[in-house]
């Protein structure tokens, strides 16, 4: 054990285990999580070469092998609870992905939710025994989130009772679905349904794409890998071009809409249930933001504790870089953010499960708020975490660029969350739509419920600079007062966006133009709303914590999170009259004080995230702090070191010399 | 040609060629640049498979081949002007790097500047004929910018007149030098010199590491590749462990310091000249920031012109995503930033060359300011460009994640500039040191010269809220007034940092502690100073432009750049009393207006950067806008598509099914 990092741990002011239990949601959950982790980590079948040393084809190969093993292991251990499966897999996968991901996350759930009873009976056993390996083919080369724009067609032919699937243009080629390129033999294809000469919009069709015996592409199917990406090397995101591919009528998922044998189209009753799945996935991503950021912070903080650099005082040894204020200012607010997002993730998951119960009983009343919240928070947390991972990486100096730090892999694996499951700006605008609607309802005297109820409060309709009409400006040492300030800032920005929208309507040709011409304000309002929710939930979490020492350190973190946000957006708070200019200087000083207060607990705060070395897969983030020995060992395994002299020397350098 | 993008070009309000000439520094330079580009682009020897499809070893192989070819071609064409060589190489390399980079940029220049005449005579011909291929080995596994901390030793043995080189610890292993792993047969090793029982600090030693005949590592030399990184796959950054490696006394670079045969150490006179090289490289990086960002903007803007998505008005076709305000707000300020940085890069290069002339005549007076400016601007521009590239990438939706967009490669190739040649935070603090020193001189009544002379102005020492003492708050429609506002903001933040430093000195144990405890304020002051310089130089450039139409569009861009920065840091401007709260709302509205004004020229503004398709290497950024066809063609070449059925299917999936 590196003595620097041991000393850090001795200095912690709180009991680590208590904090870890809070993060897990209870001591029993911690115990079970560790049990599952040990199953994977001690399993020789999951030992493999670092994927960074492999070619893309080898990585894909290793990932398929791992996926197949996970299936067998989960059965062997009898792990069937979805949360435990998720946990098992995330350890086994590490920072990498599995080509079967979409099979589990989209293909089987879609079959379950959109098949008739008869269809389910036919397809589910095939999917669960992996004879069918499926993907979900929605996005096209030229079309993303706007589903009405999708071009793939499924035309019903009553003479044979088949659908004929076509990709009529280059831009209609299905593009991006995970596992589509090489792994899947079926795809749920989203296509515009034509029957009896009419288009009935997007519907889902189970489409065989490869032979279940030979795995060769079927006639009329052009399928392949879309090529290398920024990360996700081990996944075969694919393309699919359909040329008059015929499938039986029964392959349309018919739980809701139907096409009868003669081609008569029967409308679906409602689509609210699919809406629920989307909300669930976005809520999960909030938790992913916390995980990606907490892993990155763990690596950066531990490394900063063992890394010595430059000198603070002449003649003294080089200090730990964690002692530099500039380093603390980069990393401690991110640790606070990781905690904040973790608690928000817990809240979203709990809320989703509560509301799901209501939905199953036909009560959809809370769904719109959760929908709006999950969209905005998905965008807010992924953007912040995305930038934060890079700050962590760059805080490690040169070594943060080495793949052995794991930080590049964490980044490339996480960054797509900013785009998939709803592009972030689109998400922010969805939340804004809900906020503006709520604001108008409040103005019309309606009593709002839930998180947006603050839009009812009279303080939210104050004019700029009317500080006197508010009880007081913020108390920068009081978290409750800061939560209020975030609330008023959000209210102010929602009001500004709504008013600008109203004003714009007088010049614009349409509602849609007015909306577009105020997108900047709308995104800003959503962002402030989400920021308020995060600060509020972090503060609320504190009241649940009994242990004094843990409460104390988390309170300091929460205050840091809140004040750091105020400092970054000080213009907003000044504009809303929530802050005075002299307070800005006080906040700067207070922030420095908070960094010093947190310094002794920095390592313990990331240790509490409880990532085992095998999960971080980072030489810089090692628990024992023995960074350099392991970097050297890792480097020796680089493929370029397999031979002492690379063949290019003989091929190019020797001839070059002879020509000069 | 895609009709959308043709229409964009027809709508441009200015003559593209005039703007391109301004960017190049004159019509003749444009002509010559294009001539050189054509040499590379039409050369069949530089046609090769997309490196994204190759394994790391194949990429390295391709890069060595290309490096060897470039050497022959440059001789063949007789290109010898350093700027033209730079230009030729940057086209041939594309977004990739060459393993010989350090040989040119550091090895040969160091030999030239630090060899005695006799040494030069011996080594230079070997280096220029590539019999010696060299690298510059300074950083160690445990040591970066702080050169006093380096541990490698060179101990003089007078009995054999040799130096004995050693890596005494794991942390002393040389780490990161480009081309060290496999390519180089010599390294300039920076080591602590010991002679006659005394350490004389860091000196440079020419160390043979591989046999010049067999290329095998020499006895006592442990050398290899440090493993995969975030980008730079084609470069063999290496490690070097020296175990009692003996080199002749003459291998120490002795132009300045010397060790005599008996071991007597002779001190160097001065080290100011090496200081100049560092300034030069940092100045060059400012230009790199402009290039990386302008390439990214070109790709994102062109793609936004051909990409259609969602609907603005019900029933109408999907609009170009460039028509969304949120998209404009992401991209247009970055286009403005790319222009700003380009002009700053021109200024830095011109200033460097002017000052170099003075230095050669023994006048070092302007060097400290240029040193401070190059450090700060290197950090300021690389951080902004780094984040900006990712904004461009994410503005392309899913396709920005594909390697065919080139945006991931631009990012991973550029991001190290934030760390190498001086870690950015360290750079900001160096600039801050100069600013605080200048501020103190100004307070002491000294008349400052150069860019910091604003610290002499009385307005820089105003108190918060004393708006009345200033002629007026900013006029948000007047660039000159905005330049003034940026100046006062910088002055205010420099003053705050200096005062906080002064106050801290009363509690701190030492100057160094006080400095560290104010790093946040100091970095912020540097940042504001650099931001002021950028706005000022952009505004200054406008006065050189004669063409009315070009002047008009660049003025709009400059105003956008300045106002966007004010909006992002509005707290600073409010705090300094340079802005009133009602003006904030006016700025928001004005920004929206500027986006609309720039919209018709968006494509033309990026076209003017004049990157040929071969240089962008991006399907999304194609000049002809025919994005989707080429994405499909590119994807088909993915290595995973070399076989229809991947072997993993037979190896893992078939057995899995039989086990379930």
Beta strands in B493-545 (DSSP E): none
Q: What is the pLDDT of residues B236-285, one digit of tens each?
A: 999 999 999 999 999 999 998 999 999 999 998 765 556 677 888 899 99
Q: Distance from B509 to chain A by nearest Cα, in Å?
A: 10
- CA nearest to B419, candidates B458, B460, B370, B386: B386
Decide if B397 and A144 are in contact by the 8 Å CB cutoff. Answer: yes
Domain stops at, among A243, A268, A293: A268
In this complex, the residue of A55, A318, A646 whose CB is nearest that of residue B182 is: A646
For the cut 90, the answer to whether the pLDDT of residue A460 exceeds it is no
Report pLDDT for B490.
97
- CA nearest to B437, candidates B370, B351, B501, B509: B501
What is the separation of C-alpha B126 from the centre of its chain, rounded to a whole number of angstroms?
Answer: 30
- CA nearest to B159, candidates B192, B199, B201, B196: B196
List the CATH number of the domain containing B638.
1.20.140.10
Residue B461 belongs to a domain: no
Task: Determine which of A362-371, A582-591, B254-263, B481-490 has the lowest per-residue pLDDT on average.
Answer: A362-371
CB of B213 less than 8 A from some CB of A: no
Confidence of residue A457 (pLDDT cuts 50, 70, 90): confident
Q: Distance from B155 to chain A by nearest Cα, in Å?
A: 23
Report pLDDT for A367.
85
CB of B510 less than 8 A from some CB of A: yes
Residue A77 belongs to a domain: no
Helix (H, G, I), strand (E, B) or coil at B245: strand
B 266-305 → A contacts, CB under 8 A: none
Helix (H, G, I), strand (E, B) or coil at A364: coil
Report pLDDT for A472.
61
List the CATH number of the domain containing B224.
2.40.110.10
Q: Distance from A513 to chain B by nearest Cα, in Å?
A: 7
Q: What value does the mean pLDDT of chain A take?
A: 93
- Count of domains observed in chain A: 2
Task: Report chain B residues whose CB lies below 8 A from the CB of A464.
Answer: 581-582, 585
| Residue B178 annotated in ligand binding | yes
Q: What value does the mean pLDDT of chain B take?
A: 93
Are A386 and A531 members of one domain? yes
Are B414 and B506 members of one domain? yes
How far is the C-alpha of A117 from the C-alpha of B43, rounded, in Å?
Answer: 64
| Strand partners of residue B191 | B203
| Residue A178 annotated in ligand binding | yes
CB contact at 8 A, B304 and B5: no
Length of chain B: 660
Helix (H, G, I), strand (E, B) or coil at B380: helix
| Mean local confidence (pLDDT), A189-194 | 97
For the cut 50, the answer to whether the pLDDT of residue B308 exceeds it is yes
Domain stops at, among A236, A268, A300: A268
Domain stops at, among B230, B247, B268: B268
Residue B527: half-sphere exposure toward Cβ, Cα within 13 Å = 16
Confidence of residue B464 (pLDDT cuts 50, 70, 90): very low
For the cut 70, the answer to whether the pLDDT of residue B566 exceeds it is yes
Residue with tokens 């040499």: B39
Residue B76 belongs to a domain: no
How far is the C-alpha of A271 from the C-alpha of A505, rounded, in Å?
Answer: 31
Are B393 and B517 members of one domain? yes
| Mean local confidence (pLDDT), A90-106 | 88
Are B417 and B523 members of one domain? yes
Report pLDDT for A461.
41
Residue with tokens 């998505």: B309
| Mean local confidence (pLDDT), B614-634 | 97
Helix (H, G, I), strand (E, B) or coil at A252: strand
Are A488 and A539 members of one domain? yes
Give me the helices (H) in B95-163, please. 101-102, 108-114, 117-128
Q: What is the pLDDT of residues A135-188, one digit of tens each?
A: 999 999 999 878 889 999 999 999 999 999 999 999 999 999 999 999 999 999
Please name the residues in contact with B312: beta carbons below 8 A apart, sequence gap of 6 or more: A512, A513, A516, B319, B323, B324
Residue B352 belongs to a domain: yes
B159 token code pair: 């009995």
CB contact at 8 A, B190 and B143: no
A53-to-A49, A60, A299 alpha-carbon distances in Å: 7, 13, 21
Residue A473 belongs to a domain: no
Confidence of residue A274 (pLDDT cuts 50, 70, 90): low
Highest mean pLDDT range out of A363-377, A423-437, A445-459? A423-437
Task: Output b/e per residue, A462-499; b: 16+ Cβ within 10 A.
Answer: bebeeeeebeebbebeebebbbbbbbbbbbbbbbbbbe
How far is the C-alpha of B494 from the C-alpha of A639, rounded, in Å?
Answer: 50
| Mean local confidence (pLDDT), A311-324 | 87
Are B407 and B343 members of one domain? yes
In this complex, the residue of A72, A183, A230 whose CB is nearest that of residue B401 is: A230
Kindly report the backbone phi and psi dihedral angles of residue B261, in degrees, each rounded to the nearest multiple of 5, phi listed first: -50, -35
Residue A595 belongs to a domain: yes
Confidence of residue B72 (pLDDT cuts 50, 70, 90): very high
Residue A51: half-sphere exposure toward Cβ, Cα within 13 Å = 27
Are A309 and A329 members of one domain? yes
CB contact at 8 A, B631 and A217: no
ipTM given for this complex: 0.96
Report pLDDT for B279.
86
B 105-164 → A contacts, CB under 8 A: 129-131, 133, 139, 141-146, 148-149
Are A205 and A231 members of one domain? yes
Please name the residues in contact with A424: beta carbons below 8 A apart, sequence gap of 6 or more: A378, A379, A382, A383, A418, B394
- CA nearest to A400, candidates A603, A609, A618, A546: A618
Angle between helices B548-568 and B479-504 (to 10 degrees): 30
For the cut 50, the answer to whether the pLDDT of residue A465 exceeds it is no
Confidence of residue B508 (pLDDT cuts 50, 70, 90): confident
Are B201 and B309 members of one domain? no
Determine the structural domain holding residue B162 and report its residue range. Answer: 134-268
A140 is catalytic: no
Residue A111 belongs to a domain: no
B276-to-A67, A286, B135, B139, B355 alpha-carbon distances in Å: 56, 49, 20, 20, 10
Residue B125 belongs to a domain: no
Q: Distance from A239 to chain B by nearest Cα, in Å?
A: 9
Task: Report chain A residues whose CB lies below 8 A from the CB of B419.
Answer: 394, 397-398, 400-401
CB of B473 less than 8 A from some CB of A: no
| Mean local confidence (pLDDT), A32-36 | 94
Decide if B419 and A429 are in contact by the 8 Å CB cutoff. Answer: no
Please name the residues in contact with A307: beta carbons below 8 A apart, sequence gap of 6 or more: A320, A321, A396, A397, A627, B142
Are B6 and B140 members of one domain? no
Give me the helices (H) in A415-452, please. 424-443
Please name the residues in contact with B175: beta carbons below 8 A apart, sequence gap of 6 or more: A398, A631, B139, B140, B141, B226, B239
Helix (H, G, I), strand (E, B) or coil at B224: strand
For the cut 50, the answer to whether the pLDDT of residue A545 exceeds it is yes
Are A284 and A387 members of one domain? yes
Q: What is the pLDDT of residues A358-369, one digit of tens each?
A: 877 878 888 889
Are B287 and B247 members of one domain? no
Decide if A639 and B55 are in contact by the 8 Å CB cutoff. Answer: yes
């Amino acid at each position: 054990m590196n003595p620097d990092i041991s000393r850090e741990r001795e200095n912690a002011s709180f009991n680590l285990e208590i904090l870890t239990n809070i993060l897990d949601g209870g001591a029993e959950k911690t115990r079970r999580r560790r049990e599952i982790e040990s199953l994977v980590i001690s399993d020789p079948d999951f030992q493999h070469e670092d994927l960074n040393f492999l070619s893309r084809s080898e990585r894909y190969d290793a990932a398929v092998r791992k996926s197949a093993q996970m299936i067998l292991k989960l059965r062997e251990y009898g792990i069937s609870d979805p949360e435990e499966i998720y946990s098992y897999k995330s350890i086994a996968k590490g920072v990498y992905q599995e080509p079967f991901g979409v099979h589990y996350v989209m293909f089987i759930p879609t079959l379950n939710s959109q098949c008739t009873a008869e269809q389910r009976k036919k397809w589910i056993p095939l999917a669960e025994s992996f004879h069918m390996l499926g993907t979900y083919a929605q996005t096209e080369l030229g079309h993303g989130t706007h589903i009405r724009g999708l071009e793939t067609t499924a035309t019903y032919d009553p003479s044979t009772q088949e659908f004929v699937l076509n990709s009529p243009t280059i831009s209609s080629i299905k593009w991006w679905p995970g596992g589509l390129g090489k792994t899947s033999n079926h795809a749920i294809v989203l296509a515009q349904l034509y029957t009896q000469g009419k288009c009935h919009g997007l519907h889902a069709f189970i489409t065989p794409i490869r032979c279940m015996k030979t795995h060769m592409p079927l006639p009329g199917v052009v399928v392949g890998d879309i090529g290398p990406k920024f990360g996700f090397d081990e996944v075969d995101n694919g393309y699919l071009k359909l040329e008059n591919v015929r499938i039986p009528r029964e392959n349309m998922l018919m739980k809701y809409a139907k096409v009868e044998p003669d081609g008569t189209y029967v409308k679906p009753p409602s689509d609210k249930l699919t809406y629920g799945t989307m909300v669930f996935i976005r809520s999960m991503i909030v938790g992913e933001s916390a995980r990606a950021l907490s892993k990155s912070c763990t690596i950066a903080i531990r490394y900063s504790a063992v890394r010595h650099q430059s000198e603070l005082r002449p003649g003294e040894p080089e200090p730990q870089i964690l002692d530099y204020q500039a380093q603390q200012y980069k990393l401690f607010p991110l640790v606070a953010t990781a905690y904040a997002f973790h608690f928000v993730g817990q809240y979203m998951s709990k809320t989703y499960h509560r509301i799901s119960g209501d939905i199953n009983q036909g009560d959809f009343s809370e769904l719109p708020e959760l929908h709006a919240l999950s969209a905005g928070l998905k965008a807010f947390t992924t953007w912040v975490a995305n930038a934060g991972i890079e700050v962590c990486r760059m805080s490690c100096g040169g070594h943060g660029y080495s793949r052995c730090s794991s930080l590049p892999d964490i980044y490339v694996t996480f960054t797509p969350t900013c785009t998939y499951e709803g592009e972030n700006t689109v998400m922010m605008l969805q939340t804004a739509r809900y906020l503006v609607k709520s604001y108008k309802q409040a103005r019309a005297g309606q009593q709002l419920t839930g998180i947006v109820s603050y839009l009812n409060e009279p303080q939210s309709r104050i004019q700029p600079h009317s500080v006197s009409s508010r009880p007081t400006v913020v108390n920068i040492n009081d978290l409750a007062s800061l939560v209020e300030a975030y609330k008023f800032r959000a209210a102010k920005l929602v009001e500004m966006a709504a008013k600008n929208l109203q004003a714009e309507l007088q010049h614009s040709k349409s509602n849609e133009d007015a909306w577009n011409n105020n997108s900047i304000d709308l995104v800003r309002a959503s962002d402030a709303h989400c920021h308020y929710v995060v600060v509020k939930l972090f503060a609320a979490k504190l009241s649940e914590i009994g242990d004094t020492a843990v409460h104390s350190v988390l309170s300091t973190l929460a205050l840091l999170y809140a004040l750091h946000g105020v400092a970054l957006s000080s213009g907003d708070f000044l504009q809303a009259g929530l802050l005075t200019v002299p307070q800005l200087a006080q906040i700067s000083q207070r922030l420095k004080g908070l960094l010093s207060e947190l310094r002794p607990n920095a390592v313990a705060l990331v240790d509490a995230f409880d990532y085992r070395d095998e999960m971080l897969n980072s030489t810089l983030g090692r628990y024992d702090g023995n960074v350099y020995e392991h970097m050297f060992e890792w480097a020796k395994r680089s493929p370029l070191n397999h031979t002492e002299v690379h063949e290019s020397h003989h091929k190019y350098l020797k001839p070059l010399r002879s020509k000069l």
